[in-house]
Structure 1
Amino acid sequence: MSRIALVVSDVDGTLVTREKILTDAARGAVRRLGDAGIGFTVVSSRPTVGMRFLIEPLAITLPVGSFNGSSIVDSQMNPIEQHLIPAATAQISLDVLNEFGVDIWLFTTNLWLTRNGDGEYVPNEMRAIRAEPTVVADFWPYLTAACKIVGASSDAALLRRCEATLQETLGGRATAVRSQSYYLDVTPPGCDKGTFVQAMAKRQGISTDAVATIGDMENDLAMFRTSGLSFAMGNAADDIKNMATHVTASNADEGFAKAIETILRSNEKS
């Protein structure tokens, strides 16, 4: 196995607790990576604004990935690379999500848009990304600027069916995958967490075999497949765990920090 030179982590369900807290153990683990000369960054389905709170406490200097890796920004949140959902594809996505009756959000670079400010998961998202939504009557004026479209629902089975329908309907015109059991994300075509890992490896001048990834959901599988080492969180579903090279503890039991310790021990033996 290659010596690990870079760790790429998911955020929600992985790096932070269910309450969206970055623990002291997680901070310490990232600090130990730096002491060992191993790079660290994050990639998430979150909008860019929702990544800012991690930069200072984790001393991240490498680019980070937002919108499931379809946007790459530097540590000052300045865009390096950004992709958008084609407007026609965005409209098709909205139509399918409407058919399933889920709450719909549209994210642009700077805005979180919703037609329902009292939606079930609006308070959860406000707490997670530390921003408030803009309530609009119609998404149409924003279709040409869509970075991500989200369907939110507490009915996990419904959202799985919606995911399958969207994937079949969109084909390769966009990526449709759940980032949480209650969030279904539509993001630009040809970009995912796996392409982010490839981009970061290229920037660092290393092989993707020298990258370790940590995550918990379907949208993390793309980076599992791309990296040399992968860790599924203990809170992940069994099908996610089966796709990773390792399984760590849950995000309620410092699973992220424990994964980092495994990586550090493995490097010491290399």
Structure 2
Amino acid sequence: MKLIAVDVDGTLINSKNQISKKTKDTLIKAAKNGNKIVIVSGRPAPGLSALAEELEFDKFHGLLSSNNGSTITDFASGEILADHFLDMDLARKILKESQKIDLDIVLSHGDILISDKSHKYLDHEVRLLKLQSKIIPDVRENLSFKINKILFAGEPEKVDKYYPFLEENYGEITSQVRSHAYNYEVMPKGLSKGASLLEIAKFYRIKREDIVAFGDELNDLTMIETAGVGVAMANAVDDLKEIADYITLSNDEDGIAYYLDRFVL
């Protein structure tokens, strides 16, 4: 059995935000052949449901590793295999102190995306993930629910300017990743996409060398490093390509299917 891990944006889905028929058919075939498929994404689990249904995760007990590996879910049964949250006091401290930097926030709670005010990055996440949103003006001072991560968002030059504040003040007590030019994410210490693959592999008794991971962005680095075979898409950032074991075709050229057809199936 192989554990086949796929990132979403820029990897599983193409530039039209769709899973191509070739990629879908290949991943379903891999699952039918007894391999375990996991979608590994920065998105919250409810924002991955439609993709999981397309890949017939309900039939083959495919897995969701959401919020950059913070939560691991068996899609068919709904069983949560792992769930890691930021310490509530620490989350409140970060939310309160980060008001001094000019970045917006997005928090997820179940199938609702939450911020302290309306902004275009929240609107984008709502459209992309097809979830509801809620504005809680005092959420930074009075967080009342557990969260897996804090997403900070802004124009790339603003993220460049302000992420050092988060890194310098909380870098030793949290895990942090630049998941996109517009996004910077803060998670519980020790959490990453790569760490979630090791959790899954341990649960299903899959050897590390039998993990195959596909990615394209900086938040996929740990996943590519951890896997027995780390596969970068042709459209991946250079830093990922440099550490990958293999560079496949792009997400618009069925790069996942290209690799699996040749080396797994």
State the TM-score, normalizing by the size of structure 2.
0.89
Per the alignment, residue 123 of structure 1 pairs with 123
The alignment yields a C-alpha RMSD, in angstroms, of 2.1
Q: Which amino acid in 1 is paired with 2:31? A: G
Please report how far the alpha carbon of residue 243 of structure 1 lies from its aligned counterpart in structure 2 after TM superposition. Answer: 1.6
Which residue number in structure 2 is paired with residue 261 of structure 1? Answer: 261
Deviations 1:41-81 (A, max 9, x none): 11111111111112222122133211111111121444232
Identity of aligned residues (%): 27
Change (3 A) 1:215 1:114: same
| 1:35 Cα deviation after fit | 4.0
Map of 1:80-119 to 2, 5 A cutoff? 80-95=81-96, 97-117=98-118, 119=119
Report what 1:181 is aligned to. 181
SS in 1 for 2:221: helix
Distance 2:15 2:187 in 1: 24
* Counterpart Cα distance in 2 of 1:173 and 1:201: 26
Q: In the alignment, what sits opposite 2:46? A: 49
Q: 1:22 to 1:191 in 2, by over 3 A?
A: same
1:13 maps to: 10
Where structure 2 has 5 or more consecutive residues not aligned to the other structure, the ranges are none
**Contact kept in structure 1, 2:92 and 2:142, CA below 8 Å:** no
Cα distance in 1 for partners of 2:75, 2:46 equals 12
| Contact 2:6–2:39 (8 Å) recurs in 1 | yes
Residue aligning to 2:214? 214
8 A Cα contact 1:97 1:104, kept in partner: no
Q: 1:111 to 1:204 in 2, by over 3 A?
A: same
Report what 2:165 is aligned to.
Answer: 165
SS of equivalent to 1:72:
strand
Question: Is this contact kept in 2: 1:45–1:68, CA < 8 A?
Answer: yes
1:86-120: CA deviation from partner (whole Å, max 9, x where unpaired): 12322343356433312211223443101232x22
> Offset of 1:249 from its aligned partner?
2.3
> How has the CA–CA distance of structure 1 residues 170 and 20 changed in structure 2, closer, same or farther, with 3 Å as cutoff?
same
| Number of residue pairs aligned between Structure 1 and Structure 2 | 260
Larger displacement relative to structure 2 (90-99 or 219-228): 90-99
Matched letter for residue 226 of structure 2: T
Cα 1:245–1:163 change in 2 (3 A) is farther
Which runs of structure 2 are paired with 1:1-80 in the superposition (5 Å)? 5-60=2-57, 61-76=61-76, 77-80=78-81
Which stretches of structure 1, 4 residues or longer, exceed 6 Å deviation after superposition? none
Which 10-residue stretch deviates more, 178-187 or 254-263? 254-263
- How far the C-alpha of 1:194 sits from its partner, in A, is 1.2
Normalising to structure 1: TM-score of the pair? 0.87
Q: Is 1:236 aligned with 2:233?
A: no
